[in-house]
């Protein structure tokens, strides 16, 4: 099908976009890469009165490192992240996560900010960014906010973004030394949304014990699901990797096959992360 | 209505479109009907074209978003009757039956082989994952990609 008619705005700067969102926020949808929104428009499942297309805001399309922190502009394409030498060298988890998003024809247009703002709980980048303790930076004419993943992702397809707010940037802190990370998922068909998966970061102490663990499950609840009890058990040395993975799955609302899948993928992701941390 | 100018296969196409006009529809109304429209929600890949050297779903883009950009469609591949090595390989390997999906496959694979001139089978299968074919069962397509890669490497060397 074809989209219903809508008014179309094409701001060239963040300032212009915020002005439009302040004026039309309630009736407008932000259009980024369009790989989720345009299917919804084509099906007429979404019929916004107005689209604010941010694709020509060049100032938001960057991936760079400042003071050790990774800065990803909301309009950076997922393909750019996938091919970023900077991400590959220092935050390879993001490259692994980007490769799992849809297909090449989706990643070329899809944006990191769009994936995050769409907040599909089965999406890879929100889970990876949650595991990496990323911060989400929003802007509006009322001011800017910086939110942690736990604050930003509210529930299924819902974030803390207000109608007049734009997600402008995501920052990712540096990983500790002797750390490793991995994201694993299972989908029935390559490129489909996953039935289960886990993004994991593990950091080792001098003595080889677990100094920090970060586990974010995808497709395991209404939003990327941090497994706090499992993380704590690992750091306190109260659980081995398999036990921690079981605990992580039990912290979700999953049952049956999906729960077993989440536990197994978490166990494998923890194992790979620990090996990488030791390498 | 908005005036747009989209370069398709090296030629500028000017038009007046509604903002809701999909790029796939704009391309076809310009007479370039090689780009097929299958599912219109980004699943089947039949409408895949290249936008500034990247493979994209033309049903998931608005025509206004292509204003001032360069698009390549399947019509650009052959030079007159001289088929592109990918097209020849598809023909030789029987990598199509009804042919509806073929333009999307070709435009995806053209980018893929430029980036990965010597792919292994697993990489080829991953590259094919974004395009659906209901006729062939894909094995012949994998063979065609191997043959095309070899031909293109020969042409480059």
Judge if B108 and B140 occupy the same domain.
yes
CATH architecture of A7-53: 2-Layer Sandwich (3.30)
Residues of B in contact with A53 (CB under 8 A): 62, 64-65
The one-digit pLDDT tens for each residue of chain B (157 residues) are 999 999 999 999 999 999 999 999 999 999 999 999 999 999 999 999 999 999 999 999 999 999 999 999 999 999 999 999 999 999 999 999 999 999 999 999 999 999 999 999 999 999 999 999 999 999 999 999 999 999 999 887 6
d(C-alpha A258, C-alpha A267), whole Å: 14
Number of domains within chain B: 2
Is A100:A202 a contact under the CB 8 Å cutoff? no
Judge if B93 and B69 occupy the same domain.
no
User: Count of CB contacts below 8 A, A vs B?
Assistant: 83
Per-residue pLDDT reduced to its tens digit, A116-141: 999 999 999 999 999 999 999 999 99
Check which CATH number belongs to the domain holding B105 and give it: 1.10.150.120
CATH architecture of A179-278: 2-Layer Sandwich (3.30)
Reading the block at residue B122, the tokens are 């697993």
pLDDT for B157 equals: 62
Per-residue pLDDT reduced to its tens digit, A140-166: 999 999 999 999 999 999 999 999 999
Q: From the list B22, B42, B62, which residue is nearest A35 (CB)?
A: B42
The SS3 call for residue B18 is: coil
Judge if B91 and B119 occupy the same domain.
yes
Judge if B102 and B58 occupy the same domain.
no
Residues of A in contact with B60 (CB under 8 A): 34-35, 38-39, 109
Average pLDDT over residues A233-245: 97
Cβ of B41 within 8 Å of Cβ of A39? The answer is yes
Residue B4 distance to chain A (closest CA, Å) = 13
Judge if B97 and B128 occupy the same domain.
yes
pLDDT for A48 equals: 97
Judge if B14 and B56 occupy the same domain.
yes
Check which CATH number belongs to the domain holding B71 and give it: 3.10.20.30
Per-position DSSP letters for B109-143, written without gaps between them: HHHHHHH-SS--HHHHHHHHTTS--SSS-SHHHHH
pLDDT for A206 equals: 92
Q: From the list A42, A104, A191, which residue is nearest B59 (CB)?
A: A42
Which fold, A60-172?
3.30.465
Model confidence at A265: pLDDT above 80? yes
Per-residue pLDDT reduced to its tens digit, A78-119: 999 999 999 999 999 999 999 999 999 999 999 999 999 999
Judge if B72 and B97 occupy the same domain.
no
pLDDT for B155 equals: 81
Give the residue numbers spanning the domain of B58.
Answer: 2-76
Model confidence at A231: pLDDT above 80? yes
A7-53 with A60-172: one CATH topology?
no
Per-residue pLDDT reduced to its tens digit, A17-63: 999 999 998 999 999 999 999 999 999 999 999 999 999 999 999 99
Residues A123-153 as b or e (16 or more Cβ within 10 Å = b): bbbbbbbbbbbbbbbbbbeeeebebebeebb
Q: Rounded to two decimals, what is the model's pTM?
A: 0.96
The residue among B53, B76, B99 that closes a domain is: B76
pLDDT for A191 equals: 85
Domain boundaries, chain A: 7-53, 60-172, 179-278
Judge if B71 and B91 occupy the same domain.
no
Per-residue pLDDT reduced to its tens digit, A164-207: 999 999 999 999 999 999 999 999 888 888 999 999 999 999 99
């Amino acid at each position: 099908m074809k989209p219903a008619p809508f008014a179309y705005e094409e701001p060239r700067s963040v300032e212009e976009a915020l002005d439009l969102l302040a004026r039309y926020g309630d009736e407008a949808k932000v259009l980024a890469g369009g790989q989720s929104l345009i299917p919804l428009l084509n099906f007429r499942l979404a019929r916004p009165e107005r689209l604010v297309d941010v694709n020509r805001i060049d100032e938001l399309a960057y991936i760079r490192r400042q003071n050790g922190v990774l800065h990803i502009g909301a309009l950076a394409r997922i393909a750019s992240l996938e091919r970023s030498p900077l991400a590959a060298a220092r935050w390879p988890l993001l490259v692994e996560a980007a490769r799992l998003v849809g297909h090449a024809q989706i990643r070329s247009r899809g944006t990191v900010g769009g994936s995050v703002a769409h907040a599909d709980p089965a999406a890879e980048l929100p889970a990876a960014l949650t595991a990496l303790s990323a911060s989400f930076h929003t802007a509006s004419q009322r001011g800017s906010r910086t939110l942690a993943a736990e604050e930003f992702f509210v529930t299924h397809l819902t974030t803390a973004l207000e109608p007049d707010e734009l997600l402008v940037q995501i920052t990712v802190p540096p990983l500790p030394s002797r750390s490793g990370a991995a994201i694993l998922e299972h989908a029935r068909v390559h490129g489909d949304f996953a039935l289960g998966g886990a993004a994991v970061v593990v950091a080792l102490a001098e003595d080889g014990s677990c100094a920090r663990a970060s586990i974010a499950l995808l497709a395991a609840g209404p939003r990327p699901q941090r497994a706090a009890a499992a993380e704590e058990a690992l750091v306190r040395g109260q659980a081995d990797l398999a036990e921690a993975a079981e605990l992580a799955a039990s912290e979700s609302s999953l049952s049956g096959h999906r729960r077993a899948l989440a536990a197994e993928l978490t166990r494998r992701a923890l194992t790979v992360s620990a090996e990488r941390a030791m390498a | 209505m908005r005036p747009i100018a989209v370069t398709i296969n090296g030629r500028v196409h000017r038009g007046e479109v509604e903002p809701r006009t999909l790029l796939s529809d704009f391309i076809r109304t310009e007479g370039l009907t090689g780009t097929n429209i299958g599912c219109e929600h980004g699943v089947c890949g039949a409408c895949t074209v290249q936008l500034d050297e990247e493979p994209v779903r033309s049903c998931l883009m608005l025509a206004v978003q292509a204003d001032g950009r360069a698009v390549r469609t399947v019509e650009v591949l052959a030079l007159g009757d001289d088929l592109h090595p990918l097209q020849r390989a598809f023909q030789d390997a029987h990598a199509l039956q009804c042919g509806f999906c073929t333009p999307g496959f070709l435009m995806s694979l053209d980018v893929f082989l430029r980036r990965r001139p010597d792919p292994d089978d697993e990489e080829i299968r991953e590259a094919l994952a974004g395009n659906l074919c209901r006729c062939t069962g894909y094995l012949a397509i994998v063979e065609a990609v191997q043959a095309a890669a070899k031909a293109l490497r020969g042409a480059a060397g």
